[in-house]
Every structure is written in structure tokens, then in C-alpha cells.
Amino acid sequence: MIVWTVVLGGLALAGPSDSVEVRPVESVAWAQLNPARGDASPRAADLWGSRTDDVPTGFLVRFVDGFSSPPHIHNVSYRAIVLSGEVHNAHPSAEPMWMAPGSFWTQPHGQSHITSARGETMAYVEVDSGPYLVRPVDQAVDSTEKPINVDVSNLVWLSTPTPDTRVAYLWGAPEEGPGGVFLRTTPAKALAADGRGGSLRAVVVAGTMQAAGHPALGPGSLVSGPSVDLTCAGDQPCVVYVRGDQGVRPR
């Protein structure tokens, strides 16, 4: 098997040539998330996998300012990250808790909830199996899962072997897999991680990744492969969500 390295948008990714994918957010195809609601539906775009099939999937969702869903359930559990704007996701009777960009939440399957947005909002949503469907509350079930809402201000950042890089553990078993983490660094510094023999999927959460001769990779852009090496451009810190099938090892 030929192993090669490609540098795209500030990300150097090494691995088999048939395993590397780079998707700038500007290149994704948007469609209705819930076609039954017509023009009132949020817009969605698959980053990897397919939200209409029985496969693990990561996709983007866009909400207009002031969007608020009716109470509903989903047939599968999901994890999500606020990329822009603000999101409130909770039981219909809960007091609003607006989560800012960089926040993380989970929604168990079968539990009644609403989702609201303030400002032009985009989120990254991830499921371990699909299809991802919206169902009425009369189909609610009592799941043993508990929802989690973690505002960006409550993330716990830990040191890594690289002085300028910090890690925040989000879900699963990031050291063994599957699991997911945030990696953060300062402008002009690097971010790097290995997949411990499995694949990684890295989604830009904040900041800009850029390399000479390539377009910038802003929030919502995807890079996937067996390892990632990232450079933070611009004058703002960069945060990337990294999911590893067999764990994530920052370096």
C-alpha cells in the first residue's frame, strides 16, 4: 500500500491515499433536515456517512434566527456541537439555556424535547447509526440515557505533550475508542493527533486553518484520515473536534 502526505488548508494528513478526505464547509450540499416541515425545516448537509442510511454519520445543520421546533423525538441518539449562533435544546418545559459556539450537547433517542436557535446558527450533529428521523411525541419512550448540555464556558481543558495544545474530553473512551475530544491551540501553532490504528474525523469548530495555495478551512469543514496535523491561522485561537474509531492520541 502506498503511503503519502498531502497538505490541504493548513492540515497535513498522512495515510493511505484512498482514506484521506477534505471537505471545506463551502462545498457541502444543503437540503431540508425534515422535509415534512417544508420551508420551515432547518437545512442540513452530510459531512461524512449518510443521515438517511443505517450508518454512522456526521452532518451540519443550519437554523435561521428565531427558529424553535415543536416538541418532538428522534429515533436515534445524537451528539452535537454549536459552531455559530446559540442553541437551546431541552425538555419543552425547561427554562432556556442558550449554548454558545464551542458548546457540546447530547440528545437521547425517544425523549421529548425542543430545539431553538438565536442568531444565524450552525451546528455539527453526529449519530452512531441511522437513519436520523424526526418523530411525534406520542412515540416517546423512556430511554435510560440522560441528556448532557455543556456550555463552552464549562469545558475542562487539560495539557497534552505539546505545550500549546489543550484537550477537552467529550464522550466515549478517547484513549481506546470510539470517543471524541476537542483540541485547542493558539494562532500560528500546530495541532496534531493519531488515530491509534483507526480513522479520525476532524471538524473545525473555531478559528481558521490555512496553508499557502489552499482556501481557508472554517468552522464546519472536515478532514478525515488516520492522523491529522493542523496549523492555526489568523489571530484567533483554533478548536477542532476529533472523533476516533480506535481512540485519539494528541501529540
Domain boundaries, the chain: 3-25+154-250, 29-151
Predicted pLDDT of residue 22:
78
Confidence band (pLDDT; 50, 70, 90) for 19?
low
**Residue that wins the pLDDT comparison between 14 and 224:** 224
Would you say 238 and 191 are in contact if contact means Cβ atoms under 8 Å apart?
A: yes
Residues 6+ positions from 238 with CB-CB distance below 8 Å? 184, 185, 186, 187, 191, 204, 206, 207, 208, 209, 230, 232
Find how far residue 118's CA is from the centre of its chain: 19
Q: Which CATH class is domain 3-25+154-250?
A: mainly beta
Distance between CA atoms of residues 243 and 180, nearest Å: 4
Confidence band (pLDDT; 50, 70, 90) for 36?
confident
Q: Which amino acid, 81?
A: I
Task: Establish whether domains 3-25+154-250 and 29-151 are of one fold.
Answer: yes
Mean pLDDT over residues 63-90, rounded? 97
Would you say 31 and 43 are in contact if contact means Cβ atoms under 8 Å apart?
A: yes
Is 96 buried (19+), middle (13-18) or exposed (0-12) by CB count in 10 A? exposed
- CATH 3.40.50.720 is the classification of domain 29-151: no
**pLDDT tens digits for range 117-139:** 999 999 999 999 999 999 999 99
Cis peptide before 70 (omega within 30 of 0): no
